[in-house]
Amino acid sequence: MSTTTAPSKGASPDFTPGFRPGPLGRLGLWVTNHAKLVTGVWLLLIVGLGAFAPQVEHNLSGAGWQADSSESVAARELAQESFGGNASSAIQVVVHSTDGPVTEGPGAEVLARVTRMLEAEPRIADVIAPTPGATISQDGSTAIILAGAGVDTNEMVRVATDLKGDLQDLSVEGIQVNPTGSSLLWSDFNEANLEAMLKSEMVSWPVTMAILVLAFGALVAAGLPLILTLAGLVASAGSLVLINELVPVSIWAMNFAMMFALALGIDYALFLVVRYRASRMGSGNSARQAVAETMDTAGKAVLLSGATVLISLSAVMLVPSPSFRSMAGGIMLSVVFVLAATLTLLPLVLFKLDHKINKLSLPWAKTGEHRSPKFAAWGERLWKRPVVWGLSALIVLLALAAPIIGLKTAMPSIKVLPEDASARIGYDLVQESFGEGAPGTLQIVMKASDADTAKTVLASDPGIAGAMPAMPAADDSGLVLIQAVPTVDPSDPALSDTVDRLRTDLPDSALVGGAAVENLDLKAQLDDSTPLVIGVVLVLGFLLLLVALQAPLISLLGTLASLLSTAAAFGVARLIFQEGIGADFFGFESQGFLDAWAPVFFFAMIFAIAMDYTVFLLASAKEHYEHSGDPKDAMVGSLAHSGRVIFAAGAVMVAVFFTFALSGPLPPKEMGIVLGVAVLLDAFLVRLVLLPVMLRLTGKAAWWSPAWLRKVLPTITFSHG
């Protein structure tokens, strides 16, 4: 086997005369020539980073859901520093008696044990005993011990995880112990989420494997995408653990990265494997030429697709919130690893296995078939009646998108937790014993000289049920803390009006905070950031398509078409999550709204996936147009050669997302259903119907580019010879 990496005409029997690989083709050949080095590097990455991967669920936290530089975060930091950790991240231990006053008899003994356990934990600051009229209910049956936050919000989630089981074990007959609060909420959510993710993985892998076997027609070929994706995921999981030592990373970064990278990695590998088999087994090229051709065509499309995904997700970094930045960063990191595995490790595996990838084939499988007669016939059908098919797809998408007009968003409520979670049981007990708004108690920090004025404002505000006496700071800061109980549940939209009113009426030194207020400030920040993120994603997506295709019109149409599937997905999301249609089937309790982080975060993710398919289809169309200059050949040929891959990849993505949607807490369900619906609509209506129709109707104009633009843009081609 020759080791020539850039053959000249007829220089090597491995290549047909005149064949010259491009940059990615040369990368593929370099990989095959340095097999030991590439294998060694990937083994080091997988083993080295993989050693940290099992720690990911323990090390990463769920905190960081805050608006940096907001008033509520400033209030929390002051409360933690000057008031013994009596901040929004403090742990509230709810002790409830079903038989007489909780402060007497067995209840008093349980309260003492809880206090000793909390005082023995070095990460807890001050432990505040239950106080009559404040943290002991009027009927005496419920008391709250406050464990002050002695560490940051991320570490307090770990404290909650470490303590909650032991605290609950202190329960005795007639006395129930349940820790609650925002730190417990995240701890319980992480636990429920891990269980759900493991369950989803157990379901999604066999389903995915079955779809891939049908798509490839061979068991070995079908297993390659899963193995490659797994390598990328293990490396990215270990990386997140290491990054978390420098910058706090949200647990959601791993959850979303796993779901997203699994779907994308299979897409990328599917594209390359199909192209390699077509060149090697279909055209009869040598293994080395097949690798080079695969990388120059499918590899180039994969690289551009990956760049589009990374660009779309990078826009989420514009949201100044640690959780969003770490989630976007986590997904981007996993995509980088999966992309690297696809463009370096996969070509080597294909080259080494060669004809063995067709082992364990199904009887009807045709290993070298790249052009699908069925999708070619579908392309001919669209070419003959473009208006009928195009209008039909457009009407369906617009009808599904229509409900988006009434979409409501809010921050997640306690309903995201299972009913048996400690945080939810404690939350319900606090609400029953101390009032509807007690779980969302406001924390107002101000100068001591403004305390009397603040009391007057709070007493006269219709949204405040009551306020506790001002607590002086433990240090010499001259501050006081007043805790006020709202009249409404923390997830009620009316709380936002109350907070806005207080911020206007309270003295200038007053900072209004609390866990519920931190959610409101984050929602306001998300609402402000969403238009900017959407605008940046659209502009960058268009520019990348323009660079790849060198054609302004089809680049613009491809970008705008992605908005249709996105809008339709959010329309469906409103019907399911806001109106509760199908809630019983999917196993969740409707909150009456979509979580506020969904529009900005899901838009970037859906657009990334939509552009993924756009690049695959239009790259194939451009390859055909470069060969023939015929718009019909470009349209029909792109469907014939990439339609089956898009169909199979779409089916895999839908399967992955919907399996994650069928189990676990509400937020992953939202992601699974919204992204699953988006892929279903985008792959099968937009990319396989609407976009080909656009190519048909625009004809040669789709590929026209002014001379000045061609001079500015780098030359990128997708064809050989």
Q: Residue 419 — φ and ψ, nearest 5°?
A: -65, -25
* Residue 57 pLDDT: 66
Please state, in angstroms and rounded to a whole number, the distance separating the CA atoms of residues 260 and 253: 10
Nearest to 209 by CA among 229, 235, 239, 233: 229
Six token digits for residue 329 = 């960063």
- Contact predicate 611/539, CB 8 Å: no
Please state, in angstroms and rounded to a whole number, the distance separating the CA atoms of residues 83 and 449: 17
Greater model confidence, 10 or 644: 644
Q: Which positions ≥6 away from 165 have C-beta within 8 Å? A: none
* Residue 545 pLDDT: 86
Collapsed DSSP state (helix, strand, coil) of residue 446: strand
Six token digits for residue 186 = 């995240």
Please state, in angstroms and rounded to a whole number, the distance separating the CA atoms of residues 580 and 589: 8
Six token digits for residue 458 = 């709070």
- Contact predicate 84/148, CB 8 Å: yes
Model confidence at 196: pLDDT above 60: yes
Residue type, 359: K
578-586 long-range CB contacts below 8 Å, 24 or more apart? 578/406, 578/407, 578/408, 586/661, 586/662, 586/669, 586/673
Please state, in angstroms and rounded to a whole number, the distance separating the CA atoms of residues 272 and 333: 21
Query: Is 36 buried (19+), middle (13-18) or exposed (0-12) by CB count in 10 A?
Result: exposed
The least confident of 280-294, 353-367, 424-438 is: 353-367
Collapsed DSSP state (helix, strand, coil) of residue 560: helix
Please state, in angstroms and rounded to a whole number, the distance separating the CA atoms of residues 217 and 214: 5
Q: Residue 686 — φ and ψ, nearest 5°?
A: -80, -55
Model confidence at 223: pLDDT above 70: yes
Model confidence at 511: pLDDT above 90: yes
DSSP 283-323: S---HHHHHHHHIIIIIHHHHHHHHHHHHHHHGGGGS--HH
Please state, in angstroms and rounded to a whole number, the distance separating the CA atoms of residues 184 and 180: 5
What's the pLDDT band for 398 if we cut at 50, 70, 90? very high
**pTM for the full model?**
0.81
Greater model confidence, 57 or 313: 313
What is the DSSP secondary structure assignment for residue 682, as one 8-state letter? Answer: I
Q: Residue 261 — φ and ψ, nearest 5°?
A: -70, -35
Six token digits for residue 106 = 């067995």
Exposure string over 89-111, b if 16+ CB within 10 A, otherwise e: bbbbbbbbbeeebbbeeebbebb
Model confidence at 227: pLDDT above 80: no
Distances (CA, A) of 345 to 28, 39, 266, 358: 9, 7, 14, 19
Dihedral of the alpha carbons of 262, 263, 268, 273, in degrees to the nearest 10: 80
Residue pLDDT, tens place only, 421-430: 899 999 999 9
For residue 668, the tally of other CB atoms under 10 A from its CB is 24
* Residue 354 pLDDT: 82
Model confidence at 268: pLDDT above 70: yes
Nearest to 25 by CA among 284, 306, 274, 343: 343
Stretch 264-277: mean pLDDT, rounded?
82
What's the pLDDT band for 7 if we cut at 50, 70, 90? very low
Residue pLDDT, tens place only, 452-490: 999 999 999 999 999 999 999 988 888 999 999 999 999
| CA max distance for the chain | 95
Give the bridge partners for 124, in sequence order. Answer: 149
For residue 380, the tally of other CB atoms under 10 A from its CB is 14
Model confidence at 508: pLDDT above 70: yes
Stretch 515-526: mean pLDDT, rounded?
91
626 Ramachandran zone, left/alpha/beta (phi>0; psi -120 to 50): alpha
* Residue 4 pLDDT: 41
* Residue 337 pLDDT: 87
Q: What is the mean pLDDT of the chain?
A: 86
What is the DSSP secondary structure assignment for residue 18, as one 8-state letter? Answer: T
What's the pLDDT band for 719 if we cut at 50, 70, 90? low
**Placement of tokens 């990265």 in the chain:** 257
What's the pLDDT band for 377 if we cut at 50, 70, 90? very high
Stretch 115-135: mean pLDDT, rounded?
93
Model confidence at 3: pLDDT above 50: no
* Residue 5 pLDDT: 42
The least confident of 120-129, 581-590, 662-671 is: 662-671
Query: Is 365 buried (19+), middle (13-18) or exposed (0-12) by CB count in 10 A?
Result: middle
Give the containing element (helix H, strand E) for 445. Answer: strand 442-447
Residue type, 447: K
* Residue 33 pLDDT: 92
- Contact predicate 149/157, CB 8 Å: no
Collapsed DSSP state (helix, strand, coil) of residue 128: strand
**Placement of tokens 């990319």 in the chain:** 687
Share of the chain above pLDDT 90, in %: 41
* Residue 8 pLDDT: 43
Q: Which positions ≥6 away from 314 have C-beta within 8 Å? A: 328, 332, 540
Model confidence at 318: pLDDT above 90: no
Nearest to 522 by CA among 76, 184, 68: 68
Q: Which positions ≥6 away from 555 have C-beta within 8 Å? A: 542, 545, 546, 548, 549
Collapsed DSSP state (helix, strand, coil) of residue 579: coil
Share of the chain above pLDDT 70, in %: 93
Greater model confidence, 225 or 382: 382
Q: Which positions ≥6 away from 290 have C-beta within 8 Å? A: 276, 279, 280, 283, 350
* Residue 214 pLDDT: 74
Residue type, 77: E
Q: Residue 92 — φ and ψ, nearest 5°?
A: -105, 120
Stretch 93-116: mean pLDDT, rounded?
93
Give the bridge partners for 61, in sequence order. Answer: 250
- Contact predicate 172/47, CB 8 Å: no
Please state, in angstroms and rounded to a whole number, the distance separating the CA atoms of residues 485 and 295: 62
Stretch 268-294: mean pLDDT, rounded?
84
Exposure string over 431-468, b if 16+ CB within 10 A, otherwise e: bebbbbbbbbbbbbbbeeebbeebeebbeebebbbbbb
